[in-house]
Amino acid sequence: MDKFKSILDRLPQYPGVYLFKDAGGKIIYVGKAKNLFKRVRSYFLGVKDAKTGALQKKISDIEYFVTNGEAEALILENNLIKENMPRYNIRLKDSKSYPMIKIVKEKYPRILKCREKNNRNDEYYGPFVDNNKISILMDFFKKNLKLRLCSRKLSSGSRAVPCLNYHIKRCLAPCASKITEEEYNDNIRLARDILKGDISGAVSALRREMEENSAKFNYEKAAEIRDKIIILENIEEKQLVELSNPDNNDYVGYYTDFNAAAFSVIKQREGKIIGKENFIVSNVMDFTVVLEDFLKSYYLNIAELPEKIFIQTEIEEVKPLYEALLKKFNKSVSILVPSTLADKNLTRLSIKNAEILFQEKQYKIDKIHILREVQKALKLNKLPRTIECFDIATLNGKFNTASLVSLVDGKPNKSGYRQFNVEGEGYPDDYAMMIEVVGRRYQRLKNEGLPLPDLIVVDGGKGQVKSAKTALDILDIQIPLIGLAKKNEEIFFPNTGKSLILPRDSKALKIIQLARDEAHRFSNTRLSGRYRKSALATELLKIKGVGDKKSTALLKKFKSLKRIKAAEVEEIASIKEIGSSLAKKIYDYLHK
């Protein structure tokens, strides 16, 4: 505190914003205060936790702004955080701008997809968390309502030549006066009702119009309206949840632990749950104000406010947030703890979502810690986030196969699994097969410019490791390599001749074992499948006239001997390679 005594002593007792800077003059924290004197001094009157202590050690200078009130301070704080991205402020990760739909205020309005409110005269609907839903709606407006998409300036009596969209029935061509302004605006009103969530009302209106056209024998027009109704009813069925009230609400739940927090915001628009947004907040300085900090960080940076924001616990300093939101949006919002059962249930749901999100993040953190243990144990230069493991398997000297499994951040990555048939002369030879499959794998990655793994594991000891290293040397590729032998779970390194035995309860060992055991399982699955097919083929080869090609064709179609036996002669004969005469022989052989 002595270091900053002169600054702290002259701090004013007014609302404002304070900035903490490091030795390089970089802003590392921005905060707002009802009383700058009291708030800033509190950081130096006894460190509350490790995070505050870490921040305090980095502070080399303090700057502040006096404002007219807390609401103004909150807005300024938010702007400074966005501009400077200070290290110790809350950061909303996974935050993104969700799309909206806008109706452009024009003589013949267009309906467009956008991400920002850039014109106060236009009407905005959303945001839409479900990208599929916004695509369905835009598709409906374009194909069924045939609203114009071009940016031509249209005026009364304009007679432009219709573009291609008119000729393919994707536009009503108001530019060429092919539709009256009143008729066009009927379609805009229908679109507006749909965007407000009143799909059932839009369907009812269309149904009446369809019946009127049908009564006038205008069947073509009635059929066109019927198609619109079918699509709209399908859209309505896709709504996630129907609620008993038509409010526009947000339900904010959070879960905290360590120095982080997870938030989930469930969005209800026109009585329907349209989706949720999830955020991980890092560098939490003070858990007593984490909810308040999140609300201002989130709601001061969105395009449109809901009518109500439900939160799980009350916040002390809610008035400045109210004022800041009113100042920005010219619209009031209620921030409250739920009282009705429906609102309580949705708030609980948001809390549950936040807890799950936090646990998923914590799982990733735990895995990274374990990978650091692997890095330390094996003396690797980098974290082994991608591990590939090879296993060679044979059965009685036949059916030589090799498998490759991939682990990403400690979890099996099934899309990275590969299997190799190894049928060279002189096989089975585990060492030669290892050289071949490792060479094939990394020759391909090298040729295609694909990323290499951070660590290679082979199932086996010195011999297997030496073989894998030979393949890498031929390709002039440097990748950390180890072997894990089943006996004693001993880890072998190439060239050195040294080995390592980790404690049985070592988490680093568990990850390496997971890779080895998964590769072994994958090999055995392939091996048993090849053996089963071979046994079936051998049985079929006993039938006169059935050779390798015909037995393969039979197994490809029927998969098993049992299914071939259950088939009729005609079904067997339908195989191109078989024919009716041989089909009868096969049927008779299997039923004797």
Domains of the chain in start order, with CATH, are: 2-89 (3.40.1440.10), 100-237 (no CATH), 249-359 (3.30.420.10), 386-529 (3.30.420.340), 542-590 (1.10.150.20)
Tens-place pLDDT, residues 44-95: 876 556 667 778 888 998 988 877 777 778 777 877 887 788 888 876 654 4
| Between residues 302 and 287, the one the model is more confident about | 302
**What element of type H or E holds 311?**
strand 308-311
Average pLDDT in the 514-519 region? Answer: 90
Specify the residue for token string 């409010």: 247
Residue 36's φ and ψ, nearest 5 degrees, are -60, -40
Q: Which DSSP letter does residue 242 get?
A: B
Alpha-carbon distance of 61 to 526, in angstroms, equals 65
Average pLDDT, integer, range 281-287: 72
- Please, what sign has the CA dihedral across residues 181, 187, 190, 194? negative
Residue 240: band (very low, low, confident or very high) from pLDDT cuts 50, 70, 90: very low
Residue 537 pLDDT > 60: no
Express each pLDDT in 329-371 by its tens digit: 888 899 999 998 878 888 888 898 888 888 777 767 778 888 9
How far apart CA 169 and CA 178 sit, in angstroms, is 12
pLDDT at 126 over 70: no
Report the share of the chain in percent with pLDDT over 90: 23
When pLDDT is averaged across residues 216-228 and rounded to a whole number, the result is 83
- Taking Cα atoms as reference points, which of 370, 354, 257, 362 lies closest to residue 312? 354
Question: Which ranges of 238-340 does DSSP label H, i.e. alpha helix?
Answer: 290-299, 318-329
pLDDT band with cut points at 50, 70 and 90 for residue 244: very low
pLDDT for res 237: 47
Mean pLDDT across 111-132? 76
Tokens representing 524? 């055995």
Rounded to an integer, what distance in angstroms lies between the CA atom of residue 222 and that of residue 356? 50
Question: Is a pLDDT exceeding 70 seen at residue 424?
Answer: no
Q: Residues 22, 58: contact at Cβ < 8 Å?
A: yes
Averaged pLDDT score across all residues of the chain: 82
**Of all residues in the chain, what percent carry a pLDDT higher than 70?**
85
The span from the CA of 537 to the CA of 194, in Å, is 61
Q: Kindly give, in sequence order, each residue whose CB lies less than 8 Å from that of residue 72, ignoring residues fewer than 6 positions away.
A: 15, 324, 327
pLDDT at 555 over 90: no
Say how far apart CA 251 and CA 193 lie, in whole Å.
25
Q: Are 148 and 171 in contact (CB under 8 A)?
A: yes
Confidence band, pLDDT 50/70/90 cuts, at residue 444: very high
Q: What is the pLDDT of residues 130-183, one digit of tens each?
A: 566 778 788 888 877 888 878 777 765 566 777 877 878 778 888 888 888 888
Residue 238 has pLDDT above 50, yes or no: no
With 0-12 CB in 10 A as exposed, 13-18 as middle and 19+ as buried, what is 259?
Answer: middle
Is residue 307 within 8 Å of 247, Cβ to Cβ? yes
17-43, pLDDT tens digit by residue? 899 999 888 999 999 988 999 999 888
Closest to 438 in 3D by CA, of 411, 408, 469, 463: 469
Quick check: pTM over 0.75? no
Torsion sign over Cα 206, 211, 217, 220: positive
Span 173-210, pLDDT tens digits: 888 888 888 889 888 988 888 887 677 777 887 888 88
Q: Which of 47-51, 265-269, 498-502 has the lowest mean pLDDT?
A: 47-51
Contact 377, 508 (CB under 8 A): yes
3-state secondary structure of 220: helix
Helix 131-143 vs helix 219-237: angle between axes, to the nearest 10 degrees? 170
Instruction: Give the Cα separation of 433 and 454 in Å (integer).
Output: 22
Closest among 345, 325, 342, 341 to 333, alpha carbons compared: 325
* Bridge partners, residue 63, by sequence: 19
DSSP 151: -
More confident residue, 235 or 292: 292
Residue 164 neighbours by CB distance under 10 Å: 8
> Two tokens at 200?
């059932």
Nearest-Å Rg of the Cα atoms of the chain is 34
Q: Residue 477: which region, alpha, beta or left (left: phi > 0; alpha: psi -120 to 50)?
A: beta
